[in-house]
Amino acid sequence: MSFQRIAIIGLGLLGGSIGLAVREYLPGARTTGYDSNPATRLRAAGRALVDQVHDTAADAVREADLVIFCVPPGAMGDAAREIAAALPAAALVSDVGSCKQAIARALGEALPNHAIIPAHPVAGTENSGPDAGFATLFHNRWCIVTPPEPGDLVLLSKLVAFWEALGANVEIMDAQHHDLVLAVTSHLPHLIAYTIVGTASDLEDVTQSEVIKYSAGGFRDFTRIAASDPTMWRDVFLANRDAVLEMLQRFTEDLTALQRAIRVGDGKQLFDHFTRTRAIRRSIIAEGQDDARPDFGRADHDTA
Amino acid sequence: MSFQRIAIIGLGLLGGSIGLAVREYLPGARTTGYDSNPATRLRAAGRALVDQVHDTAADAVREADLVIFCVPPGAMGDAAREIAAALPAAALVSDVGSCKQAIARALGEALPNHAIIPAHPVAGTENSGPDAGFATLFHNRWCIVTPPEPGDLVLLSKLVAFWEALGANVEIMDAQHHDLVLAVTSHLPHLIAYTIVGTASDLEDVTQSEVIKYSAGGFRDFTRIAASDPTMWRDVFLANRDAVLEMLQRFTEDLTALQRAIRVGDGKQLFDHFTRTRAIRRSIIAEGQDDARPDFGRADHDTA
């Protein structure tokens, strides 16, 4: 019933975590892997992220019944073309990318005769590369699956079971809606974090050493996600351009309104806005999507 | 040599943490406290945040040699007027507010005959109130002291020693420069976090429940600081208006540039920007101002 030979193309944080999670939670399945970077392949073999690391993508997928692309969105098309000739006809093609419409198009063009069901585990850390992965990355995280219409329901249910076995909660969603939701919950926050970290490091009156020194006042929270993989994020913004620009427009309008409240000294508007945003934090904690300990339980904060 | 009778006005996160820290690290000193909210006074007495909680601010400071105002910036002037008649002439007046020029003015007007040395421990969590404090809040955090010119060097060195005893590293700084540095490392990040959390909760096409569900993609990092105390933050933005608006202007310019890069598909500009911001994160970790564990070591992330 479940997938037996899983090929992972791209052995960074996501690909490596999938490999480790399959070994931990689906011990019957065999994993193969490939990465275009030879140093990453070497390190992946060293950490045994998959059962076997191959020197070509084609070799990695030759016996696969599931292939998962874990490369940046802009590299999906080329990676899929590399395996087109070697991939068994019955194999399911999936991925873990953060924008689903563009990736579905790229994979579909490269592999027109294969079943393709894109997916996106909403999980990650600021670290990347073959040393970053761990088996529990997907625990209690959502995995959004965006099947095409009409789709193969047997393959869909196998893919859902696969992600559930790795600890994720699965949600089925339309690809277009996914791209809108992620634009606000992930892409816009990253863009803003990248911006403010850049702004802070370009000041003349405040030195970079002061910014770093006093970052505990709030700035450091932004630096975490602004340390994420640059290649992946470049590709995400280019691939999900329209939804990101739409959300950015709304954000800018709201920021302008608060800016005006500060300029004219409208304390009531500021207070009302700041009170409203507290409720969201409480819901995120209540649903287990974040850590309730103050400051995420950062070192030295013993509230006991 | 050191302060013996320390009065704390305002018994929330900061005031409560100072009280607990004095008991832990300066066991010879006696602490008194007052809060304008009777429920907070009751809870403060219950947690023994200070040795004695008083029902008026005047009673709390009657024997003090150091009084520390831990109230929102906009409440400093009124709080200082309340104690003016009762405060011993030799007592030093200080505070913990996040903007120093406006607070120095407010305290100076209310207490024209007392020595005043404002201070700002750059430490905190998203929680507030009398239950939020803990003795180790200031460990390995910076405390910026902004003495007036000319100042009393004996009192200054006693205040520095006080904060060092509580675990902080002390930096002496001009009040105007402090306000500029904090505008970028703390005030602007909070304003942006408050904005994006508001934007996300006002969408029509994406429900609030979806925003919460998929917040692990980056959004949740912003919600932490957007859960901070609304009264305090309203006051901070009003009190440090000019520096905040200046930083906001720069941020908006930088955001517009990245927005344009996305619109025209300039992947190189995006990649270069995103690469540059990684270095700052590394420096913050290296200087011990944040936690290097992925995702701050949030639950379930076992990389061992």
Residue A168, phi then psi, degrees to nearest 5: -85, 155
For residue B249, pLDDT beyond 60: yes
Contact B184 A200 (CB under 8 A): yes
Residue at token pair 């005893």: B165
Tell whether B287 lies on the interface with A, counting CB pairs under 8 A.
yes
Instruction: Give the best residue of B172, B277, B278, B289 to mutate against chain A (max A CB count within 10 A).
Output: B277
* CATH topology assigned to domain B177-289: 6-phosphogluconate dehydrogenase C-terminal fold (1.10.3660)
* B250-296 per-position pLDDT tens digit: 999 999 999 999 999 999 999 999 998 887 888 888 888 777 766 66
pLDDT band for position A81 (50/70/90)? very high
* Confidence (pTM): 0.88
Tell whether B194 lies on the interface with A, counting CB pairs under 8 A.
yes
Hey, what amino acid is at B146?
T
Per-residue pLDDT at B291 = 73
Per-residue pLDDT at A292 = 73
Give the full edge-to-edge strand order of the sheet including A169-172: A119-121, A142-145, A169-172
Residue B226, phi then psi, degrees to nearest 5: -75, 5
For residue A99, pLDDT beyond 80: yes
pLDDT band for position A304 (50/70/90)? very low
Tell whether B149 lies on the interface with A, counting CB pairs under 8 A.
no
CATH superfamily of A177-291: 6-phosphogluconate dehydrogenase C-terminal like domain (1.10.3660.10)
pLDDT band for position B298 (50/70/90)? low
Per-residue pLDDT at B296 = 63
Tell whether A292 lies on the interface with B, counting CB pairs under 8 A.
no
Per-residue pLDDT at B294 = 66
Dist. CA B18–CA A175, nearest whole Å: 51
Tell whether A206 lies on the interface with B, counting CB pairs under 8 A.
yes
For residue A300, pLDDT beyond 50: no
Per-residue pLDDT at B304 = 35
Dist. CA A165–CA A169, nearest whole Å: 9
For residue B300, pLDDT beyond 80: no
Per-residue pLDDT at B254 = 96
Cβ-contact B159, B145 below 8 angstroms: yes
For residue B219, pLDDT beyond 50: yes
| Domain boundaries defined on chain B | 5-174, 177-289
* B16-60 per-position pLDDT tens digit: 999 999 999 999 999 999 999 999 999 999 999 999 999 999 999
Which residue(s) pair with A5 in the sheet?
Answer: A30
CA distance A60 to chain B (A): 26
pLDDT band for position B205 (50/70/90)? confident
Q: ipTM beyond 0.85?
A: yes
For residue B224, pLDDT beyond 70: yes
Cβ count within 10 A of residue B163: 22
CATH class of A5-174: alpha beta
Cβ-contact B194, A166 below 8 angstroms: no
Contact A230 B301 (CB under 8 A): no
Cβ-contact A218, B193 below 8 angstroms: yes
pLDDT band for position A295 (50/70/90)? low
* B97-145 per-position pLDDT tens digit: 999 999 999 999 999 999 999 999 999 888 899 999 999 999 999 999 9
